[in-house]
Amino acid sequence: MEENLYPNGAEVYAKTNPEVKLVVRRYAKRVYYCTEPGKPTQSDKVFYERELMVR
């Protein structure tokens, strides 16, 4: 069973761009697929857990 730190729907920030809010859309195979709120047509941004943080 995979355990993820950030559940689907969690608000997170990329460590490399902390001013942009992201929402976890999906977690699969140790990768987080995130989107920016208000930009649903934009493609997913992909991160490993170590690249994300919460405020």
| pLDDT tens profile 11-53 | 999 999 999 999 999 999 999 999 999 998 999 999 999 999 9
Q: What is the pLDDT of residue 11?
A: 98
Q: What is the pLDDT of residue 2?
A: 63
Average pLDDT for residues 2-19, to the nearest whole number?
94
* Residue 49 and residue 3 in contact, taking contact as beta carbons nearer than 8 Å: no
Beta strands 11-14 and 17-28, pairing class? antiparallel
Q: What is the pLDDT of residue 42?
A: 94
Of 3 and 9, the structure prediction assigns the larger pLDDT to 9
